[in-house]
Structure 1
């Protein structure tokens, strides 16, 4: 059975056990994900072991934080697993600007996902230089999502959000503790990164440990207040 949520194209399969997004390109899958079909509609199972955002939702991030997001700046697209599900959610009414600096990864992202989704704009840039894509990204945006696994990831996210994010817009930072400091306990690192966001003018609403889906990872969810 499929159960709707408050978020466009986001559903529960089997009552709060499995998340899925309604496939806006039926017949196409992007990372060998499972597909559930009901009444001629195709739902792509959102695997929390392959997507930190799905893991965050299953660990307590409220689904409706994505309810009003239509324009999103996504930093660190990788090959497009998570972004493909966000693409389903925002549908043709929205746009995702996907930033990736690694040439081979960007090429795979385009060939695997972006060329099939008209609501995705691939941006081959370094997310550390957000001013370079100002002529492309339509300002203001509703959300920044950052997953770059770099020691300065939270700064990268904040620099982009300062430039592009609307007031009260949302920021999601997928923290990989070992990429920031391998000598400190992960919870200490999560708190340090959250403190940095607060100092930059963001109201941190949640720090979500992503175990058991991702070891030594957390999702920080915050709102821009300046």
Structure 2
């Protein structure tokens, strides 16, 4: 189910989920609401499907792979403290601009593979949202499990081509799920097509 701070709106002839906040990436807006583009956000696909992600108004969130802030800006529009980890300096500059309009959004120029580098900053969280396009995506989720509350959820977007561009995506997804099972119980795992090719959306709880 979608949080109360995420509503279905029709703006400029387009209908979809929307949040209230300052625009970030040229998305259609009206009366303070901004459409959440599913083709640019894996999380938006899951919320549009009404998958139980654990995200709610006021949730504490750790977002891994925040990039320029497209998706995490929507999250920060309705969530509570939102810690946004991004490794690359160039998108971090854009993310800082996004955070300037959102006092609950905390950008961290860190590597999600090294959670010890930000463990002194991040409090226990209700939800980890992970969109890190690197090899070893399950390992990143396991390494950051330490921040997740016992009743929290991991919302993971697995990009098959980042794991191994030569292998069949289904085989990659199966391998990632097996690795995740070493620390999580998977509640949902479905393709994110047609919006995101060769991506698997996963929701899991800590074991």
TM-score for both structures, normalised by structure 2: 0.91
In structure 2, the partner of 1:22 is 20
In structure 2, the partner of 1:167 is 150
What are the within-5 Å matches in structure 2 for residues 1-226 of structure 1?
7-13=3-9, 18-23=16-21, 28-37=22-31, 42-58=32-48, 60-62=49-51, 65-67=54-56, 70-90=59-79, 94-111=80-97, 113-138=98-123, 140-161=124-145, 163-199=146-182, 201-225=183-207
Question: Unaligned regions of 5+ residues in structure 1, if any?
Answer: none
Secondary structure of the residue aligned to 1:222 is strand
The whole-number CA distance in structure 2 between the counterparts of 1:6 and 1:29 is: 20
The whole-number CA distance in structure 2 between the counterparts of 1:29 and 1:22 is: 9
The whole-number CA distance in structure 2 between the counterparts of 1:9 and 1:172 is: 18
The whole-number CA distance in structure 2 between the counterparts of 1:53 and 1:183 is: 26
Question: Unaligned regions of 5+ residues in structure 2, if any?
Answer: none
The whole-number CA distance in structure 2 between the counterparts of 1:174 and 1:131 is: 22
1:136-186 Cα deviation digits (max 9, x unpaired): 112x2111111110011121121011x211112100111111110122221
- Relative distance call for 1:34 and 1:74 in structure 2 (3 A) is same
Aligned length: 203
8 Å Cα contact 1:35-1:45 kept in structure 2: yes
8 Å Cα contact 1:142-1:165 kept in structure 2: yes
The whole-number CA distance in structure 1 between the counterparts of 2:78 and 2:187 is: 22
8 Å Cα contact 1:7-1:64 kept in structure 2: no
